[in-house]
Amino acid sequence: MPIATPKQYAAMLDAAQKGDYAYAAINVTSIITINGALKAFADKKCDGIIQVSTGGGEFASGLNVKDAAFGAIVLAEAAHRLAEKHNVLVALHTDHCQPKKVDSFMRPLIAETARRRAAGLPNLFQSHMLDASELPLAENMKLSRELLIECAKNEIILEVEAGVVGGEEDGVDHSGAPREKLYTTPEDMLSVYESLHGLGRYMFAATFGNVHGHYKPGAVKLRPDILKQGQDAVTKKHGAKAEFDLVFHGGSGTPVEEIRETLAYGVVKMNIDTDTQYAFTRPVADHMFKNYAGVLKIDGEVGDKKAYDPRAYLKLGEKGVAERLGSACDDLLATGKTLFGKV
């Protein structure tokens, strides 16, 4: 099955909203991590979202190129081909594009989808994220409106953010953000709805104390009730159809009971990156320690080609990613709920 069409992606989000479950959205940087994601979704009979950050795109483009948009295109094209072999629906998304990177990252990718559509080909990406949380809300919404209009012309969903996700990811460090910025207010959520309603479909990353990275239990104070308060404020004023499709950033390390509480408040997508990075690296490290004399040519020896062949350990990383992502599908109550063949 090819990557989900815009119609299928919309149906995925609608089904998650109606059924109180959410899709795991994993950041990928290579064919290996794409395959790990596809294995997890297929094994769990679960639809999902594969996403590329600016740093992930730059990495994928190679050391001599370092072009985030180009690398994202390469990864997306690979995902389109690889997804054809799996009987689940998968959407492609880009993650955390700051305002200064819009013209070098997001807009070239929108243009690539427009070019493909003109040639009768499917969208390259089904959604993009604008992270303009560094701007005052009015400026954030001004840029969000502009990009939502551009995206809607090509049946692309835009994800926006108001409030700040703490911690550090992909070189963007909000670890010192004021505490109040970590919690989106009902007034801010109303402003987001009233700024964007009617321009096109969007998702909203409202913040409720969530943090990028990994942390020990109790170190982060999540307040999922903030999502409910914001949803209630918006639907009370504008009706039930105003309910947001919410996104949970910083899902790694979150207790399952807190994850599931957010599902009842409209979360349809949860990002997972840190945990899957570790799940990739841990078995690779194990391989290196267990095969130390084989992966290195020690004291003039020749080593063991079977041990230092990258395939020997990278397939272990792929398996680790698939297992951890599969657990996320379970936590999000999405396992077994693929819409493949139904829409």
Query: Active-site residue numbers?
Result: 95
Residues 6+ apart with CB under 8 A from 36: 276, 280, 317, 318, 319, 320, 321, 322, 325
The Cα 95–Cα 128 span in angstroms is: 7
Tokens of 219: 């170190």
Closest by Cα among 196, 89, 186, 197 to 143: 196
Phi/psi of residue 62, each to 5°? 100, 160
Among 93, 132, 88, residue whose Cα is nearest residue 113: 93
Nearest to 328 by CA among 16, 40, 28: 40
Q: Which residue has the tokens 């996104």?
A: 247
- Could you give the CA distance from residue 311 to residue 28 in angstroms, rounded to a whole number? 18
- DSSP state letter for 212: S
Residue appearing with tokens 């409106």: 145
For residue 78, the Cα-to-chain-centroid distance in whole angstroms is 17
> What are the CA-CA distances from residue 10 to residues 20, 30, 154, 179, 339 (Å)?
15, 26, 14, 34, 11
Token digits of residue 81: 């081909």
